[in-house]
Amino acid sequence: MHMFNGAPNLSLDAKGRIAIPTRYRDALGSEVVITADPSGCLLLFPAAGWQPFEDRVSALPNMNPKIKAMQRMWLGYMTETEVDAAGRVVLTPEMRDYAKLDRKLQFVGQKDRFELWSEAGWQAQIALAQRSMLEDVPAELAGLSV
């Protein structure tokens, strides 16, 4: 499994495409899976990495309405798409609308996948994280020294 990290800026072209940064192209391969995330971003997986995620999501108890809502979003929006010869991926209008994607995007590595954020959405997430971390440090992070 590849470890995706970093948060490069990307641009959305007039045809709704993003160019995958060169350093990630081999690891992502020629096909990716894109879906919506409840946080307001899009998730982009290498095609081979989607199945384990889908299996985990499908195994959750769907009688819980919150879990069912997340399953509907992750599985319902799921779209397989090819990476073209120039390393570009087309984002459907529905996906772009869902994540409020404009010309400037953040491509945020999250271990086994990427998050695609609008510039404004990413800045809001960073601000929220900074405020919440100052207010209440999770116990899991208390012993971490950076």
Residue 133 — very low, low, confident or very high, per pLDDT cuts 50/70/90?
confident
What is residue 137's predicted lDDT score, i.e. its pLDDT?
Answer: 67
Domain edges within the chain:
9-139
Q: Is residue 42 within 8 Å of residue 116, measured between CB atoms?
A: yes
Q: Is residue 17 within 8 Å of residue 62, measured between CB atoms?
A: no
Q: Which fold has domain 9-139?
A: Chemotaxis protein chec (3.40.1550)
Residue 132 — very low, low, confident or very high, per pLDDT cuts 50/70/90?
confident
Residue 146 — very low, low, confident or very high, per pLDDT cuts 50/70/90?
low
* Spatial separation of the C-alpha atoms in residues 103 and 118, rounded to whole Å: 8
- Residue 39: phi and psi, rounded to 5, are -75, -10
What is residue 129's predicted lDDT score, i.e. its pLDDT?
Answer: 85
Residues 24-68 have pLDDT tens digits of 999 999 999 999 999 999 999 999 999 888 899 889 988 989 999
Query: Judging by beta carbons within 10 Å of its beta carbon (0-12, 13-18, 19+), is residue 140 exposed, middle or buried?
Result: exposed
Residues 64-115 have pLDDT tens digits of 899 998 888 898 899 999 999 999 999 999 999 999 999 999 999 999 999 9
